Amino acid sequence: MEWRGVAGLGLALLVSGCLTGKEGTEYAVMAQKIGAPRSGQSRIVIMSQKDAWLDRTSCDAKVDGVALNRLLPGTYVYIDRPAGPHHLVATQILFPGDSSLDFNTEPGRTYFYSIRPSERSRAMQGGAIVFGLVGAGVMAAASSGADNKGPVDFVPLQEDQARPALAELLQAE
């Protein structure tokens, strides 16, 4: 009698894991459902991977002034925009500066970018870990001459690099 209870519990856990797990093929399913970008459009995908603890970052991003959902570690966002020049901006609450990227897209193509903490962000984070808020402030001042004054670097990825990474991410809500 007890083995039936254990077997039933095991089956319930197995099924509930399948029902609640959104990870895995979410991007592939989403891309298949909505299809390729419409004629004259390109797709821009920005992801925050689940890397090592110090490489994790979050930000608020805008493409051509259109706000996207907040990027947290382990999430991605996408937007379809007309092909041509684009301006991508990322900000973080209480971070003294913005990251930006200007790039061009071609119709029908998808462009993938991964965000990583910028050198300035790493310096401020290190100062905060060692010396608290004062350390973060000192490092903010010391790194104010950095090329990228913002919180993240945008790393372009080829599709064959991006697809496996996206398979482990969830769409930002």
> pLDDT digit string (tens) for 24-74?
457 778 778 888 899 999 999 999 987 765 567 889 999 999 999 999 999
- In whole numbers, what is the pLDDT of the chain averaged over residues? 79
pTM confidence score: 0.76
What pLDDT, on the 0 to 100 scale, is given for residue 46?
A: 96
Residue 131: other Cβ atoms inside 10 A? 13
Q: In a 3-state reduction of DSSP, which class is residue 70?
A: coil
Percentage of the chain modeled with pLDDT above 90: 42
What pLDDT, on the 0 to 100 scale, is given for residue 35?
A: 84
Q: Are 120 and 143 in contact (CB under 8 A)?
A: yes
| DSSP strand pairing (152-157 vs 110-117) | antiparallel
| DSSP strand pairing (152-157 vs 66-67) | unpaired
Between vectors from CA 128 to CA 126 and to CA 134, what angle results, nearest 5°? 130
**Averaged pLDDT for residues 74-103:** 94
